[in-house]
Structure 1
Amino acid sequence: MPITDSIRALTAEQPETTAPVAPPYSDEPLQVDVPLLTDLLLGTYADSRRLARERMKDERLHDHLDQTVAQHRERVLEQLHLMAEMGVADNMVPTTLGGPNKQGDNVAQFEEIVVASPSLQIKSGVQFGLFTSAIVQLGSEEHHRRWVPDAMAMRLPGAFAMTEIGHGSNVQALATTATFDPETDEFVINTPFRAAWKDYLGNAACHARAATVFARLITRGVDHGVHCFFVPVRDENGELLPGIRSEDDGPKGGLNGIDNGRFAFENVRIPRTNLLNRYGDVDADGVYTSPIESPGRRFFTMLGTLVQGRVSLDGSALRATQLALAIAITYASQRRQFTSADPNRETVLMDYQSHLNRLLPALAETYAGQFAHDELLRAYDDVFSGEGDTPEAREDLETLAATLKPTSTRLALDTIQECREACGGQGFLAENRLVGLHADLDVYATFEGDNTVLLQLVAKRLLADYSSEMKSIDRAGIGRFIAGRAEALSKRHTPWNRLVQTALDAGSAKRAALSMRDPQFQESMLAARAKSTVEEVALALRPAAKMSPQEAAALVNRHQVEMLEAAKAHADLVRWTAFTTAINDIEDQQTQHVMFRLRDLFALTRIEANLSWYLLNGHISLQRGRTLRGYINRLLWKLRPVALDLVAAFDLAPEHVRAPIALGAERERQDEAEEHYRQQRASRNAPVSEKSLHQAR
């Protein structure tokens, strides 16, 4: 379902169901066509992903474990020069410079770098996706010619100087100033106080020679809001230029291959033409002009051009999650623990229901996220390759990116940690990558937009669309609508709806369970929660229109938790719809049956996570609620035989994985130990007991 359809369906009485009825499940063991599934996951930009995956096999691009912070930084800098030689970001080059301007392909390739080195990926993102992209998206053709070729070739390493110590995600309140001096035809950049220092900037501590600096443009005594300026910060020898102050952020919890640091500016003068002037310009007399009259819309348009960071973090977080699941599920399919029916052979971890429940729901959610990400990437390419660049398309893109980036980065952190624990002590060894992966991805939850802030933006968009729909209804119609919705909300808290479901399911737990695999049921449940949560917040906030700004802000603040829940419910519906759309056209019947089961697992675990809401609001009867966990457990066992196939479809080569426990070492060790012990016992004609075999291991 496109984002616009998903949003605008919120005011409909009954959401349209788009999913056909899935074919009946077969009790026969199913098989997966792994290459077919790999192609499905590769998505729209498959060729670019394959090229990037081949490049990421190169050992020169991989992390080393035994490095100091200084050594790690220098290694990643060398790797970035190598990446520039490979032309890994050439797809982003605009047509004005003879480039292909294939933005979707560029981001798809960037996302694959995370399996080689998260530090390299983020430093590459700083150099090409932020610093260079700011010049491309916010500058003129003259700016492109002056700086982009050197930036792409790493002759001009750069920093992206937006975030300030005291303002964080509140970019509109940045305090750094750029004041125009008409006598010298220059802007003067100043940092007025400590909280206005630019902080957490990749490349700032050591390597950047220039920065794209976001500052308040002031000319003729008028503040025109935040704009972006190209500011040289170091000379060719790496020495700071006059007026530039820099500090090193020092070691971090992860991503220590990136030299994060701070910048401050004291009367730093730059030519007037260093203003990146696509959305706002100043002439030699100090007169400000802009193609966008509204300061607010101008600001959000400028920031919208930088949505690439959120899009790419969504995809790279999912790729890292795939890597963690591949390691943990492969290990769990080899590692044995405790006894089983065979007294001489312990049980494989993956044959324990608790282990299935730890890993397979995350696997299903990762598939859902990957299919949704492909839709996001297509939307991004439509806007930034120029084919579908409209204000509405940009707004939809920003909303979808703000929906999926928090969802996938939270999934990554939770899943990587679960995988680490599922692998026991082996998961805690650095060589098996899970602890390092978690440390490196930790900050994904707060940079390129703090997850909580982004979800609030989604909720505000959903509420704005809801309010817009209300404006199309006359006063009498609004009254009838509110009365009708109040009645509907009231009915959810009465037993009637639950009684209907209970009557339908009476005497048959199987009937209650079977209804849950019906895609229409799943969609209606997810859509109902997405719709109702927005609706309830909108009705709760209606009095704000008649309040003072302070009172209205306080009212909104009291409903922030509900707003976040509305955004998360929306994300569940978006991902389920993308999952269903992606698998409906699979021609191989057995593969499609497996994917329907995986889709069902995703839907039902999301419903289970919010079961109290469904029960309290009368959407699910107690009878169906009781059957939910049992049906999820059956799905886990149905999917158990194809678990390795499902992670094999992630197309992770040994050079990508680089974790000994996922490369057969554990199986070889256990098989060798067991065979050696059996031979010893046989040579003495002694029986092989469970206890003695366990001691041998």
Structure 2
Amino acid sequence: MLDAPSRPSARELLSQSGLAPLIPMLYVAWTDGELSAEELRSLGEAARAQPWLDLKANSILALWVDPLRPPPPRELALLREHIRATAQHLVGGEHHTLAGLGVHLAQVLGGDAPLGMPLPQLGQALASLEATLGVDGKEAVRSLLPQASRAARSEAPSHTASFDPAAMTGVLDRTYADVRKQVRGWLEDAEFRYPEGLSTTAYRDQVFTWLKHLADDGLGQLAFPKGREGGADLGAFIAAFETMAFFDLSLVIKAGVHFGLFGSSILFLGTKRHHQQYLPKVATLELPGCFAMSELGHGSNVRDCETVARYDAKTGEFVIDTPSETARKEWIGNAARHARMATVFAQLEVDGERLGVHALLVPLRDAHGKVLPGIRIEDCGDKMGLNGVDNGRLWFHGVRVPRENLLDRYGQVTEAGEYTSSITGDSKRFFTMLGALVAGRVSVACASLSAAKSALTIAVRYGDLRRQFGPVGAREVRLLDHQSHQLRLLPLVAKAYALDFALEYLVDRYVHRTEDDAREVEALAAGLKAYASWNATATVQEAREACGGQGYLTANRLPSLKADTDVFTTFEGDNTVLMQLVAKGLLTGYRQRFEDDRVFAVLKLLMERAATVVTDRNPIAGRRTDSDHLRDSDFHLRALRFREEEILASVSKRIRKRLTAGVEAFEAFNQVQVHLLALAHASVERIVLEQFLRGVAAVKDEALKPVLGRLADLFGLSCLESASGWFLEHGYLEAPKAKAIRKERVQLCAELRPDAVGLVDAFGIPDTCLSAPIGLGRLAPGGERFDDGAADGTREGSADSRAT
């Protein structure tokens, strides 16, 4: 038996001028990976029928399309290099087909009439063969000629924002700009760098060292300025706290516990003698403190805490006791390691009479850190996050403190054991006392926003540099140029801007609150704390996912942001509980609208609601889908106001129905909790949009208003889309309009895409605070920067280039 003839080498194939125009198709046929043996034979038969092939070329071609003799990779590589070398000056290579590339190769060898036939005729013959091959010729050429493709198109430059990011930073820093600048300067100091590989104990000590540096630099004086007895500028301290939250959140929380809770309890619940004796030491961190309110068995229900402070008139002292295990103070920041004194909330008892919850200063450790007699302290141990904060548990066993240690602004005990208070009623006194401490919720809301801004800055900058997917052989597309990526991040950027304006409003209301509007401010703080912290956890999670595996690396900070912010939804008041407080406040106000000048109040309310129905619930308004209408901020705001009013009226009716039927008040509220939460969310979201629009209108720099307007439109439409089910159920929107809202959001995201990086740069986060390599244009700490080579997504081969 005669041996089958061997397949000619690639060099023999390339030596035949008649085969030159077929080289690209032969290469693709073998590298496609999808052609069957029968398809290869069909291609061979069609190719061998071409009139320009001589006998030798025909014989070589027959062996090269034999499905039983696949060429080895090194032979295919020779064909690829030949194609690239011959076509290296090809212009517009990404627009060529395999047939066009074949004509070019033949033309290089034989001029305008290669192989004895005109170019158009050759091109038609090759196009017929390409159809037989059954691949997407343009995709295949792009995979063959990556250098030619890149030479034919320059890399699009990074998008230039339509506004000045520095000017936008000025808008975001509009209040207390000098304080924010000062804190950024502190945090850029070499002392403030993220530690690596520390034990929990070492990490806690590092955080305490950082806090001491900040106290020495003047952070404490922001909270408790000298010469302003009882008149601290809390707006300045909250601005500092918010800016500090761009850095390590354990430091922020430890500062908040010491200055914001312990120090503020002395400032707001104590009197002049307490201020003079303690606040200077608190400001310099000479007296580290903690805030012992929560108990194991009661948590948010502070009014029913069990810890007791009994007055002993014989000695002029209060005796502090923990009567049961559920009465132990739980999750007390600074308690496990550093605090020397605690503000302890306890049931005040004088001469056998319980007088409600009051606060007392109780020493925990001596100047050398030794725990004092009668005090028991346990470490809560490692947590999900914030492990730089030393949370602990506290028990008190017959601990005696002087009568003067009672923080007695709202309730006093004389030496003889007589209790006096300017506020009648335990309940009113209790809520007045807690209202004085609302700064904690305001601060957590602001810190939540800073954490969300950090996560968005990392994710948006990474998305602007990282490439993923695209046409075969061409540069892959930047993540932020994918529609889905824009939709997952840009609405969150808009929400961050909305919250920035809303929280400025909250801080202003808090700083200038009066006795008349104190309860309203407390409800506002509760609602925005919940809204902002829920937004932070959702934003960090979305940013983490948007960064893929890089977002899972500790070095890129998103894991620590996720772990550290998770508890923001719990401390300073569980979010669900806070939202119920918001709803109850709304119901109280709703009831008062009817009680004050009842007839006129009812008529006014009915007229307001009727106007809304006429304007927005009529068929024409409900069906409008034009862009001008969908981007009308009045439309967004009217819709959110309508939702809030409808839910408020519905909840009120539900509760009244139950009370009329004899259901006890607590149970009546319990049965409508879902509706109460919906009401609170509707109200808070309306406030956020309202303040965003107000803030944008007040911006004086006209160059910033277009992008701020688009952000406001995106936030407003996002609110409507997330609640589209409710609006459809209540006839406010019709299905075509709900669909149009979705489409308009997509369009707004596309319009904001060029401004995305500028918008997060405007947050003004120092690089040393952001720290994440992928947020600073690097692949790893100290590693290569993202550039054309590092981010190159060009793929070789023609996998998946088959026509479908």
Give TM-score scaled by structure 1 length.
0.87
Query: What is the 5 A alignment of 1:536-555?
Result: 536-546=650-660, 551-555=664-668
Aligned residue number for residue 498 of structure 2: 368
One-letter amino acid of the structure 2 residue matched with residue 631 of structure 1: E
CA RMSD of aligned residues (A): 2.6
Q: Does 1:448 align with 2:605?
A: no
Aligned residue number for residue 638 of structure 1: 751
Distance 1:668 1:164, change over 3 A: same
Aligned residue number for residue 406 of structure 1: 530
Aligned residue number for residue 668 of structure 1: 785
Q: CA deviation at 1:584?
A: 1.4
Q: Secondary structure at the match of 2:378?
A: strand
Aligned residue number for residue 289 of structure 1: 420
Contact 2:647 2:675 in 1 (8 A): yes
Aligned residue number for residue 272 of structure 2: 141
Rounded to whole Å, the distance in 1 between the matches of 2:605 and 2:696 is 38
Q: CA deviation at 1:98?
A: 6.2
Q: Which moved more, 1:252-261 or 1:70-79?
A: 70-79
Rounded to whole Å, the distance in 1 between the matches of 2:570 and 2:271 is 31
Query: What is the 5 A alignment of 1:190-589?
Result: 190-340=321-471, 343-383=473-513, 390-474=514-598, 497=617, 499-501=619-621, 505=624, 509=625, 511=626, 513-546=627-660, 551-589=664-702
Contact 1:202 1:259 in 2 (8 A): yes
One-letter amino acid of the structure 1 residue matched with residue 402 of structure 2: P
Q: Secondary structure at the match of 2:173?
A: helix
Contact 1:318 1:408 in 2 (8 A): yes
Q: CA deviation at 1:237?
A: 2.1
Rounded to whole Å, the distance in 1 between the matches of 2:169 and 2:606 is 50
Contact 1:213 1:229 in 2 (8 A): yes
Aligned residue number for residue 7 of structure 1: none
Rounded to whole Å, the distance in 2 between the matches of 1:589 and 1:693 is 51
One-letter amino acid of the structure 1 residue matched with residue 516 of structure 2: E
Q: Secondary structure at the match of 1:115?
A: coil
Contact 1:515 1:521 in 2 (8 A): yes
One-letter amino acid of the structure 2 residue matched with residue 558 of structure 1: Q
Distance 1:203 1:152, change over 3 A: same
Q: CA deviation at 1:499?
A: 3.0
Q: Secondary structure at the match of 2:266?
A: helix
Distance 1:691 1:373, change over 3 A: farther
Aligned residue number for residue 681 of structure 1: none
Contact 1:339 1:690 in 2 (8 A): no
Aligned-residue identity in percent: 40
One-letter amino acid of the structure 2 residue matched with residue 499 of structure 1: P
Q: Does 1:167 align with 2:298?
A: yes
Distance 1:91 1:263, change over 3 A: same
Q: CA deviation at 1:551?
A: 2.7
Rounded to whole Å, the distance in 2 between the matches of 1:197 and 1:534 is 39
Rounded to whole Å, the distance in 1 between the matches of 2:707 and 2:606 is 45
Q: CA deviation at 1:555?
A: 1.9
Q: CA deviation at 1:33?
A: 2.2
Q: Does 1:105 align with 2:229?
A: no
Distance 1:238 1:587, change over 3 A: closer
Distance 1:429 1:571, change over 3 A: same
The unaligned stretches of length 5 or more in structure 1 are 1-27, 384-389, 678-687
Q: Once the two structures are superposed, what CA deviation does each residue of 1:484-539 show, in whole Å capped at 9, x if it has no partner?
A: 999999x89xxx9463335x64xxx5x3x431111111111011111111111011
One-letter amino acid of the structure 2 residue matched with residue 500 of structure 1: I
Distance 1:305 1:98, change over 3 A: closer
Q: Which moved more, 1:247-256 or 1:143-152?
A: 143-152
Q: Secondary structure at the match of 1:286?
A: coil
Question: Based on CA coordinates, which of the two structures has the bigger radius of gyration?
Answer: 2
Contact 2:183 2:244 in 1 (8 A): yes
Distance 1:310 1:473, change over 3 A: same
Aligned residue number for residue 5 of structure 1: none
Q: Which moved more, 1:445-454 or 1:88-97?
A: 88-97
Rounded to whole Å, the distance in 1 between the matches of 2:791 and 2:277 is 67
Contact 1:431 1:659 in 2 (8 A): yes
Rounded to whole Å, the distance in 2 between the matches of 1:99 and 1:545 is 44
Contact 2:317 2:402 in 1 (8 A): yes
Rounded to whole Å, the distance in 2 between the matches of 1:33 and 1:243 is 60
Query: What is the 5 A alignment of 1:71-86?
Result: 71-86=202-217
Q: CA deviation at 1:209?
A: 1.1
Pick from 716, 729, 732 the counterpart of residue 619 of structure 1: 732
Rounded to whole Å, the distance in 2 between the matches of 1:587 and 1:669 is 37
Rounded to whole Å, the distance in 1 between the matches of 2:493 and 2:605 is 41
Give TM-score scaled by structure 2 length.
0.76
Contact 2:465 2:786 in 1 (8 A): no
Q: Does 1:43 align with 2:43?
A: no
Rounded to whole Å, the distance in 2 between the matches of 1:398 and 1:479 is 27
Q: CA deviation at 1:668?
A: 2.9
Q: Secondary structure at the match of 2:191?
A: helix
Rounded to whole Å, the distance in 2 between the matches of 1:499 and 1:203 is 60
Rounded to whole Å, the distance in 1 between the matches of 2:655 and 2:202 is 54
Rounded to whole Å, the distance in 2 between the matches of 1:82 and 1:378 is 29
Query: What is the 5 A alignment of 1:674-693?
Result: 690-691=796-797
One-letter amino acid of the structure 2 residue matched with residue 602 of structure 1: F
Rounded to whole Å, the distance in 1 between the matches of 2:590 and 2:791 is 64
Q: Secondary structure at the match of 2:197?
A: coil
Query: What is the 5 A alignment of 1:26-41?
Result: 31-41=162-172
Contact 2:465 2:791 in 1 (8 A): no
Contact 1:501 1:621 in 2 (8 A): no
Distance 1:488 1:312, change over 3 A: same
Q: Which moved more, 1:48-57 or 1:222-231?
A: 48-57
One-letter amino acid of the structure 2 residue matched with residue 433 of structure 1: R
Distance 1:143 1:590, change over 3 A: closer
Q: Secondary structure at the match of 1:116?
A: coil
Distance 1:227 1:642, change over 3 A: same
Contact 1:498 1:621 in 2 (8 A): no
